[in-house]
Structure formats: structure tokens, C-alpha cells
Amino acid sequence: MALMPVDEALERILDGAVPSDKPELLQLAESFDRVLARDLVALRTHPPFAASAMDGYAVRASEAVAGAELALQGEAAAGHGFDGVLAQGSAIRIFTGAPVPEGADTIIIQENTERLNDTSVRINLAAEPGRHIRHAGVDFEKGRTGLEAGRLLDAGAVTFAAAMNHATLPVYKKPKVAVLATGDELRLPGQELGPGQIIASNTFGVAALARGAGAEIIDLGIAEDRMASLDAALDTAITEGADVLVTIGGASVGDHDLVQKALKARGMDLDFWKIAMRPGKPLMAGRLGALRVHGLPGNPASSLVCAHLFLEPLIARLAGRPDPKRVRKAVLGAELPANDVRQDYLRGELTEDASGTLTATPMPKQDSSLMKVFADARCLIIRPPFAAAARPGDPCEVLILRD
């Protein structure tokens, strides 16, 4: 099978990826960082009445001229409005959020007045009609769409939804992503290692990235290099309703690489499994019925680069979230040789000068097995196929890994 260009591979992976058409209803307090699945219509008008925007006095502007003395008729506070009509030549003490009494057409702030005694107030600066009044419905009106489907529910959106009087919100379901490590050599963190064994670290990084993109994780643990062990893991993924199965390692065609064989035996339609990229060439993609299958390479950098490039945008689509926009313009901080047929993703350092220009410098070591290098990297420097040799200061593109 020929090497597939990165852009074509991503297009095929994202083909048909849409959120579930059956949203779930969440309590408002649980909805943060989820995606609204339906337009949200206001169940009330806000403010429901003309309200004071300041502490002061509710008056008639025509009477509240400089030097005028007005009789204090009563008081209006938030939740405790004045029950009556403003009388001629009078003022009503009012506080922020209180309903504006009938008969008043402006609020004069207390700084522009002088309280003479318990029964009267002097106006020191003439009032202007309509000042410091929040009119009914100035924020939103009942029956109007307040938030549209597809909105990521950040703090502002959750506050708005609550103000519209919604106790529950319809949100897109989190796609279920089953993550499976494969290999007899793998052990979990904290376990004793025998000869030739290593820690299954990739699973945790891939799962963290998937969770951050909006997924619910199904941890399938580690499958041994036996068909029975792989079949049992596949059964669990299907039984638990996984939308995406991510396998790590074992997707090639060596004698001990059984993942492809096990999946094909279950009826997987293999789309591709070799991409023109470095690191991460042996990435597998296919479908097992409705289940999307992605086999990531076993080397940590390869696995994480592929997860950033392909898994993160797929999960975002399935979760109804905006596509991750991680690619930025930068300039190189070091010389780079001409590139070959594969698109390179070099782990790099990233600095920003006072003008906002990003400078990307490749790390000295680029071996795909090196985890500290990836953890220290702030970006992936993207080198297209057949890119010419480059010098410091030449333009480039980078994929941001962390701020």
C-alpha cells in the first residue's frame, strides 16, 4: 500500500464525522465545557421590568433641577419594589436592581444629591430623562433564541442559559473512545518490570489528549500478543458502545503484530495504514461497522504526533466542538536539510519576541522513542515533503503543543 499524504489521510479520517443526533440533557451545573446541541430560547424576559442601574433616587426629570428640594416618599430595593406611584414633588430612594416606580422617568445618582433629613433630599446636579434605567427586555426577550446550537458552553454561556431560566441543557454526547495498548512487553506504571519489559506510557498521553478534545474514555488496558486477548478487548469496546477504538502498537504486519489481523477477522474495512509522515508512518485507519478504528504506532512520539494530527480533530468533530486550530506561522531558529518524500514533524522549542514573531528551533534529538524530548517540546515544526534546505529566519509552520 502506497504512502498516503497527511492531508488526504486527515480528510478520510474526518469523512462523515458528525455529533450524535441524540443529545443528552444535563443539569446546568454539569454543562460547562460541553457543546449545545439545540438552539436555546429564552424562557423569560430580562430584565422583566424597568430597573435602576445605580443607587440613588427615582424622580421626574422635570422636577429634579439643580437646587430643588424633593420630599422622600419611600424606598425601592432589589426584590422589594415601591408599591405605589411617585407623587408630584417627591423622590423615592432606590437601589441598584430595584424596579423603577411608576411615575419616575429617571434615576439621579446619590453622589449628585444631598440628604437633608429623613424626609427630604436636595438635587445638586440636574437629572437627565431616562438616565440609569435598564428598560424591560434590554438584555433579552422571552421566546427569542439566546444561544445557538454548536455553542461551546463557557462561563458566559452557562450564565446566560441560567438567566434565561434553563435548569437543564441539551448537549452533544461525548464520543466514547476506547484505548487499547498491545504487546507482551508492556506493564502498567507502578508494576515490577521483568527482562525486556517496558511501561505502557502512551495510553495515558493519548487518553489525556482525547479527553481534552471532548471524549469519554474507555480504558481497555493492555492486550497480550494473542488473538484471544485482542478479541476480548474488542468485545469490551463494542459492548460499551465505543465510537472510536484506538489501538497503540501492533498494527503493522510483523509476526507479532496481530492487531490488523484480529480486526480484519472481525470484519474491519481497512482504509489505509501507511502515511507519508515522520514520525508516525504506520498509522492504521478503518471501520468495523459503525466503530471507527485507529491504530497508532507504538513509539511514544509517533503515537502522540498522530494523536494530535488525526485523533484530536476527529474527536472534536464527533463532540460538536470547534476544530482545533493549532497551526501557526513562525520562523526557523536553526538550519534544516532538504526533506524527502515524507512530511516531517520535528519536536521543537518555541520563543516569541516583543513583536509577536514566533521562532521555532528543532530539539537536538528527534528519535521517536524519546519521551522527555516530546514532553519538553512546545511545538512540532512542519516540514512539507521535498522541502528545500532552510536557514535560520526562513518562514515555517508549527503545530502548537502547549503555550
Higher pLDDT, 24 or 253: 24
- Give the model's pLDDT for residue 251: 59
Residue 331 has pLDDT above 90, yes or no: yes
- Cell numbers 495515558 correspond to 204
**Residue 113, pLDDT above cutoff 70:** yes
Residue from 382, 322, 323 nearest 350 by CA:
382
> CA 112 to CA 61: how far, in whole Å?
13
Return the pLDDT at 44.
97
Q: Tell me the average pLDDT of the chain.
A: 95
Mean pLDDT over 88-97 rounds to: 97
Question: What digits encode the pLDDT tens for the residues 356-365?
Answer: 999 999 999 9
CA distance 12 to 362: 30
Angle made by CA atoms 11, 275, 213, in degrees to the nearest 5: 50
Mean pLDDT of 192-208: 94
Q: pLDDT tier at 253 (50, 70, 90 boundaries)? A: low
**Secondary structure string (H, E, C) spanning the chain:** CCCECHHHHHHHHHCCCCCCCCCEEEEHHHCCCCEECCCEECCCCECCCCEECCCEEEECCCCCCCCCEEEEEEEEECCECCCCECCCCEEEEECCCCECCECCCEEEEHHHEEECCCCEEEECCCCCCCCCEECCCCCECCCCEEECCCCECCHHHHHHHHHCCCCEEEECCCCEEEEEEECCCEECCCCCCCCCCEECCHHHHHHHHHHHCCCEEEEEEEECCCHHHHHHHHHHHHHCCCCEEEEECCCCCCCCCCHHHHHHHCCCEEEECCECEECCCCCEEEEECCEEEEEECCCHHHHHHHHHHHHHHHHHHHHCCCCCCCEEEEEECCCECCCCCCEEEEEEEEEECCCCCEEEEECCCCCCCCHHHHHHCCEEEEECCCCCCECCCCEEEEEECCC
- CB-CB neighbours of 32 under 10 Å: 13
Q: Which of 271, 307, 322, 308 is nearest to 292 (CA)?
A: 271
5 prior amide bond cis, ω within 30: no
Q: pLDDT tier at 172 (50, 70, 90 boundaries)?
A: very high
Q: What is the pLDDT of residue 239?
A: 96
When pLDDT is averaged across residues 366-372 and rounded to a whole number, the result is 94
Per residue in 123-169, pLDDT (tens digit) is: 999 999 999 999 999 999 999 999 999 999 999 999 999 999 999 99
CA distances from 354 to 165, 351, 357 (A): 46, 10, 7
* H or E segment to which residue 161 belongs: helix 155-163
Written as one letter, the residue type at 403 is D
pLDDT score for 254: 55
In this model, does residue 223 exceed pLDDT 90? yes
Position 258 scores a pLDDT of 86
What is the pLDDT, as a whole number, of residue 102? 97
Per-residue confidence (pLDDT) for residue 6, from 0 to 100: 97
Give me the pLDDT at residue 273, please. Answer: 86
pTM of this prediction exceeds 0.75: yes
Of the pLDDT bands very low, low, confident and very high (cuts 50, 70, 90), residue 2 is confident
Which residue bears the cell 509522515?
277
Mean pLDDT of 90-101: 97
| pLDDT tens digits, 37-89 | 999 999 999 999 999 999 999 999 999 999 999 999 999 999 999 999 999 99
Looking at the chain, the whole-number percentage of residues with pLDDT higher than 70 is 98
**What are 232's three cell numbers?**
476480548
**Domains of the chain and CATH, by start:** 6-20+174-319 (3.40.980.10), 24-41+148-171 (no CATH), 51-134 (2.170.190.11), 327-400 (2.40.340.10)
